[in-house]
Structure 1
Amino acid sequence: MIGGNPRARSKKYPAGEGSQAELRERAIEWACLRYPSSAGYNSNNGKGFPTTDCEGGLNSRIHMPACWDGKNLDSPDHFSHTAYLSGLDNGKCPSTHPVPLLKLFYEITWDVTQFASRWNPNTDKWPFVYATGDPTGYSWHGDFQNGWDTNALQNAIDNCDNPKDQTGNGMSSTHSNLSLTLRELILLGVTEACRFLTVLQASVGEKCKITPAVVEPIDGLIQPLAKLPG
């Protein structure tokens, strides 16, 4: 399923309309984190990319659909078989998509201030674009494909994240030396405590790679790219 619209370049629907199209637009949020600032950040929700440097980073957020039609595992647009909750982050599923899903929320903070010396907000336009070639920010989107063993995932959902044991309320040995608040302890579950899951070290997982389908430069840290990948 897809959250957001990779082809969007502007906002079309009035906020609060409540239609699935409007909720899909509202699922995309931005915040220009500015320090020092009395507010701590400048919310840019619904306005695309900001126009100033973001000293604390450009924070991009996306809410994923949390309702399913109960029939189709996919749809031609990879979206229509799912839908948003009435309140986006909460509420009810529409009658057309009555099956609730686990709610996914993506958040990435881009270190744009690293390039602050290379442009002047007073005279220059916002210089950053997404890899889609989008200079507006509205194409920000997220894709979710389930790669889990479905039996293991369903058992973990049904039996783990339990507030009565470590799966939903506990501390692993790696966290035992941290000073945590009561709220943090309540929210901290131990994945390793779920008997339906086997947790591998990151070093093991990083060895699992596939051969790239397209061979082209994608990393501009060593030297600037001549063009966007793709």
Structure 2
Amino acid sequence: MHWRSLTALALAAPTNALIRFSCSQLVIDRIDPLVNPGLIPSPHLHQIIGGNSLNATMDPAKDMPGESTCTTCQFTEDTSNYWTAVLFFKARNGTYKRVPIRANVGSDGAEGGMTIYYMQNGLADYQQASKVTAFKPGFRMIIGDPLASTPEEAQRYRQVTYTCLQDMNTRFPETKNLPNKPCPAGIMANIRFPTCWDGKNLDTADHMSHMTYPESGTFDSKGPCPESHPVPVPQLMYETVWDTRQFNNPDDWPEDGTQPFIWSFGDQTGYGSHGDYLFGWKDNALQRTMDTPCYVNCPTLTTQSIAEQNKCKIDRIVDEDIDSWLTTIPGNPPMRKH
């Protein structure tokens, strides 16, 4: 369903909480506070949004929300950090160009970044009536596997997908692989995190084991959580719109007809897409919001202008060229093709 249609229908229906908001770019840098804390530079490039307390280590013992003086996200109570890898275009001559990010529907003027959702039920369920427990201070998680290179491996993370945008309202179909034809309005990368928590661990060694998908069905179909992970949490979802329009000339694509986009960790299939999350909501703002009837925006939260969220930036830690036509992707990752 198109976003505008969804919004129109929702306005007429009683709802509990579903929030959708834009977050502008905080920094594009080769750091990874979860997988490679303290390692400078990290193996591959990330695009990161959220609070400006971000650093290469992100010690969980510290009060990160309290340290942030601004956030790139629409709601000032949210100083979480969210990040994904970065998409590149590979030209026929073997050089690489970083693909820019364009503002999503409803986020006009946002500089790069992503659209973030927190939901109690599926996106098309206007009632949003399920009870969920908000993440706690110190919580962090990852979904997806950058080493996945086959459809079977990618299927483990069944809600990490792509949408080939015919226009900015396109939301289906979704695929597990990067689109193999030019997309008129760009490529949307969709990251949906698991929604069942073990209720004990704020993190685990692999940043995944404390979370899982529903025992049967999906979050959208209200599948139950398994006994091992009995606590339902909000559906966290990222949408990143990669602005591939300048690269849509078929004469620039590989002569063998394969698609030319490649992730910053060297994956050209798309199966390795992944997302990282570090919770940073202030006080009990997220739980309070999930318990309040509201849709998209919420009276429990303070909304800043897009101009204000665009102002929140941090300096890059790793000094390297990421904007020119490059002979190698930063970090020179091993390439995994179709």
Question: Match of 1:143, as an amino acid?
Answer: D
Q: 1:205 to 1:123 in 2, by over 3 A?
A: closer
Identity of aligned residues (%): 40
Structure 1 pair 150/81, CA: closer, same or farther in 2 (3 Å)? farther
Of residues 159, 175, 182 in structure 2, which corresponds to 1:45? 175
Query: Structure 1 residue 81: deviation in Å?
Result: 0.4
Please list, as runs of the form range in 1=range in 2, the aligned pairs for 1:1-230 lying within 5 A after superposition: 1-12=141-152, 22=155, 24-34=156-166, 43=173, 45-46=175-176, 48-85=177-214, 86-90=216-220, 91-117=223-249, 118-120=251-253, 123-158=256-291, 160=292, 162=293, 168=294, 187-189=295-297, 191=298, 193-194=299-300, 197-218=301-322, 220=323, 223-230=324-331
Q: Which structure has the larger Rg?
A: 1
Task: State the AA in 2 paired with 1:229.
Answer: P
SS in 1 for 2:263: coil
Alpha-carbon contact 2:261-2:268 (below 8 Å) kept: yes
| In structure 2, C-alpha distance between the alignment counterparts of 1:100 and 1:7, rounded to whole Å | 28
Q: Which has the higher helix share?
A: 1
The RMSD of aligned alpha carbons is 2.8
Could you list the per-position Cα deviations for residues 157-205 of structure 1 after superposition, in whole angstroms to 9, with x for gaps in the alignment? 33x3x2xxxxx2xxxxxxxxxxxxxxxxxx454x3x22xx333344444
For structure 2, which runs of at least 5 residues remain unmatched after alignment?
A: 1-140, 332-338
How many equivalent pairs are there? 185
Q: Please, what TM-score do these two structures have when normalized by structure 1?
A: 0.68
CA contact (8 A) 1:63 1:89 kept: no
Q: Within 1, Cα distance between the matches of 2:157 and 2:312?
A: 35
The alpha-carbon distance between structure 1 residues 152 and 136, as it changes in their structure 2 partners (threshold 3 A), is: same
More strand by share: 2
Higher relative contact order (CA 8 A, sep 6+): 2
Q: Tell me how far apart the structure 2 counterparts of residues 30 and 108 of structure 1 sit (CA, whole Å).
A: 10
Which AA in structure 1 matches 2:317?
A: A
SS in 2 for 1:104: strand
Residue 183 of structure 1 aligns with which residue?
none
User: Would you say the 8 A contact 1:44–1:50 is kept in 2?
Assistant: no
Query: Structure 1 residue 68: deviation in Å?
Result: 0.4
Counterpart of 2:285 in 1: which secondary structure?
helix
Offset at residue 5 of structure 1 (A)? 1.4
Other structure's SS at 2:262 match: coil
